[in-house]
Structure 1
Amino acid sequence: MYESTFERKLCEYIKSLGGKAYKWVSPGAPGVPDRIAILPGGRIIFIEVKRPGLSDGLSIRQKKVIATLEGLGCTVWRISDMEDLKARLRADGV
């Protein structure tokens, strides 16, 4: 499965929960996560989408951006399959 196909499924699932999964494009700031998921109740999760089967796949820049966001208290997930997404959301009480 291509990353774009998986990303579309992720967005559809977030929408089915009553949330939004906005594409994050930040000119001049490479390495930001692919999606900002806003869930009912105000829960916000930054999601870096990776093609299923990729062991890590994060660039050095992406790792730095994720560390910065986490240092600010944000939740950042690297997701590569729907089961992982669903399990994390369940664990979060969504």
Structure 2
Amino acid sequence: MREIQIEKALNKAVYGMGGLSLKFISPGFDGVPDRLVLLPDKKFAFIELKAPNKKMRPLQVKRKTQLEVLGFPVYCIDRMEQIGGILNEIRTT
């Protein structure tokens, strides 16, 4: 399983829920999460995608912490099985 396959499955699931899965790029500010997921009713989260059993780099962990300190939810997905649960968590919080 490759990261791109997980990313495609996430995008499909988000669009199926009526949401958007936007590629998040921040020039000059490396290490930001891969996707900004926007769901109906003002629900959102940042998502970092990884191949199975791969870990976030130290800079990515730092960015995750920075965003969480500001109150933004950040998730890391490295398995297809996580997608439904995480989207449900985003939708219900």
Matched residue type, 1:25: I
**2:38 matched residue in structure 1:** 38
- Counting only pairs closer than 5 Å after superposition, residues 1-94 of structure 1 correspond to structure 2 as 1-54=1-54, 57-92=55-90, 93=92
Matched residue type, 1:26: S
Q: How many angstroms apart in 2 are the aligned matches of 1:19 and 1:31?
A: 24
Shift of residue 59, structure 1, vs aligned partner: 0.8
Give the gaps of 5 or more residues in structure 1: none
Shift of residue 83, structure 1, vs aligned partner: 2.0
User: Percent of pairs identical after alignment?
Assistant: 36
Deviation >6 Å, runs of 4+: none
- Give the length in aligned residue pairs: 92
- Name the TM-score, length of structure 2 as normaliser: 0.90
Shift of residue 17, structure 1, vs aligned partner: 0.4
Q: How many angstroms apart in 2 are the aligned matches of 1:76 and 1:11?
A: 16
Q: Provide the secondary structure at the position in 1 that maps to 2:81.
A: helix
The question of whether the paired residues in 1 share the 8 Å contact of 2:49 and 2:77 is answered with yes
Give the gaps of 5 or more residues in structure 2: none
Alpha carbons of structure 1 residues 25 and 91: separation in structure 2 relative to 1, 3 Å: closer
Shift of residue 91, structure 1, vs aligned partner: 3.7
Q: How many angstroms apart in 1 are the aligned matches of 2:71 and 2:89?
A: 18
